[in-house]
Structure 1
Amino acid sequence: MEEKREDSRHFHDAWAFILYLILTTLTTCWMVSEMKEFPKYNEEALLPLLTINVGLMLVFLLVAYLGLRYTAKGFIFLANIVAPAIIFFISMLTLNPFVILFAGITFGVSLMFYFWYIKPALPLIAAMVETTAKILSLNLMGCTILLLGSVSLQVIQSFIFLRVLGNNDANIGVMSVLFILNSYWTFFNTIYFAQVVVSAIVVNHAKNGKESFRESFYIAFMALGSISFAGLIMAAINTAKLLLERERERNRERGSGNFINIILLCLLSIVGDLANLMNELVFPYLTLHGTKYTESIGKSYNLIEERGGVTLLSNAAIGKVIFFCFLFFVCFIACGNATVFWANPSFQSDELSYVTMSIVCAPLLTFVYSFLSMFSSGTLALIYSYLEFPDQVRSNEPELIEKIALFS
């Protein structure tokens, strides 16, 4: 029965994917005529910057994987207690009362949240993260190909975006707005597609005990309509934010007031964060059941509500791990780049060296963030699989059951 239901998946929300294809075709034709000159870079600085940054990235990825695979509890503790404490102590060195107050409040809230909410469920969350890391490592080749493809599309889209709209024209026409919308839409579609593939890899392993990247890719393909629906929501929000930001800059240059724009930007930021959180929780459920986007929203919410918020706790804990790991990586490669510039004084006086550094770092930062995000998607998919199909997960991951039985 289960295999029959998996084979009978339908292509839901097809209208969103068709609309995306139409918009992509339209804006691509317009984009070709609007291309600006490709940014120049320092060829001499390219190789040393590429070498140091790629080397640091590989070291970081290895450490991050080993940490999430074998010491997830430690990583969660570092992200929720140690990292906020370090930031608080660093803030005191600034002698700025507002910075100190903000960092202190953040540290206090993080401390209470960890001991009151996360720590009681830490064995469950850590076990889920470590098992997810194990499952993804069994699909290393497929996950690597997925990451490279996803990051390549995102980077290409970003460079096209900058080349077409890099002149920051004061007047933005209808086609420019549509191009911005399509660029964001492609960006989010790529991210969500990768998340669904990762979720499908974990679901297939947890339910069926088999590793099939092709089947996981098929599940994601059948979800392209729902992915496009979610991507459209995020694209519309971010397009509106970008247009408001430009309007705010023009008002500042003219000396006009910006109060309304600031309020609207704050509201859009809140709505965007909520929509992104909703999508993070919806896609694992959508992957598991093959339901359409709007149906998945309601049913995933009901599942979360019935199970005492374990899913939300896990998502919050992993989200902080991703944030601070990514922040550490940014500092890590910043130190590496500073070393390269210090060892080559000629780079410091050449503006193209900094452009080169940006060209090198952008895809690496995107790759690392996408790598870390896989663990969030995979962990939520594993939790949903256990909540919905405990018997099948028990037969395929018996070691996991001993650790999470108390939280069912």
Structure 2
Amino acid sequence: MAAPTCPYAPTDFGRLYELEPELVRCPFPLYDVLRDREPVWFDARLDAYVVTRYADVMEILRDPLTFSSAMASGPTSITGLAQRIVDDPARPERLRNQAARRLRMAETPVLLLADPPQHKRQRALVASAFSPRRIAALEPEVRELAATMIDGFAARGEVELVREFALPLPMTVIATMLGVPPSDLADFKRWANAFTAGVGSADKPAAEVAQMFADIDAFYDYFTEQIARRRARGQDDLLTDLVHARMDGVEPLTDDEILLMLAQFLVGGHETTTLMITSMMHRFATEPYLAARVRREPELLPALLEEMLRLEAPVQGMFRSATRATRIGDVDVPAGALLWLVFGSANRDPEAFPDPDFLSSEARRTPHLTFGRFEHFCLGSSVARLELRVAGELLLDRLREIRLACEPHELERHRSFVLHGYPELPLRFTAAP
């Protein structure tokens, strides 16, 4: 009997880029093919080299001088979308003007999009705002907030988890860290949607893009005023830390740098954590033995969460651009080329992770790449881990017999080749006595 053949070929990456539903739902078999056959694959549709092996991705991340982060969010980001609009004379003039403003803001590279030495300076000034002391001080507030949210649906026996928990929990935490009052949370969410709407998806209608740009402008206007207020009178929040960050011999952060950092914190501080909380609870709902084991042995939860982060990376990858002609594996890469580093594939590389698709309850020796590595290791990773751990502890403690409230095939994934997760997760359960 002939062995079954894989339904994919490296050329099928274009189908993922074009958001074919089955590949968006589960891109991992395609990643397997790419790693085995074409680990550095040039995809004409993406106009980038797709890098899928752990060792190759690590080599690129180690060398920020050769591989720039200036286009880390790639051509499907807000900046990439703005560039395409500016370059298209058929677009309405007002929309092109809005897009041009986006490009002017992007001329100031910050953190995720910055290279040495600028990145080193910015990170040094920001690092104290994410100190272990500040993160540890967050836990009682995160725990109280999560418990209050669970109180709102536990007795009901069902919940759409994203709307009632996975989204508002990290959203409220990052808003609180930035000193945003509860009355402005609805605006906060709208702004976050605007920054993420174009990530990993095709172009959108002009009216929708114009609204995205208008919401982003509102975000910048709001925080421009807040920066001025913190400069005049500080508060105990992250924004004040950024405004007053000082180091001997180091130039302070400019207002534009702070605004662009806040945009990154807004997206990274809630969108990715929302996706990860949802993926975690999908696991517990579809693998009830796993939830039962954690209740018996709660000390296993941190290692299991790291494995879930590895297997279900909410951001499947980031871009880099080659500053000079170089070679990755057996492939020559010209100067200026764009590279898509597929963390979601590297995290399942059998050369780095034995039995890579297995969810281990023991810590892996090899670090996963979900939070990046080296220069650009995620500043907010400790906040995300805190929120994920607290959410897992409280949800498993308060809810029993957790299960999907729909058929598995009815769940949709985000329409993105970059963001990976469920926009909705309906659950049923029994409230714990």
The answer to whether the superposition gives a TM-score over 0.5 is no
Relative contact order, higher structure (CA 8 A, sep 6+): 1
Higher helix share: 1
Which one has a bigger Cα radius of gyration?
A: 1
Higher strand share: 2
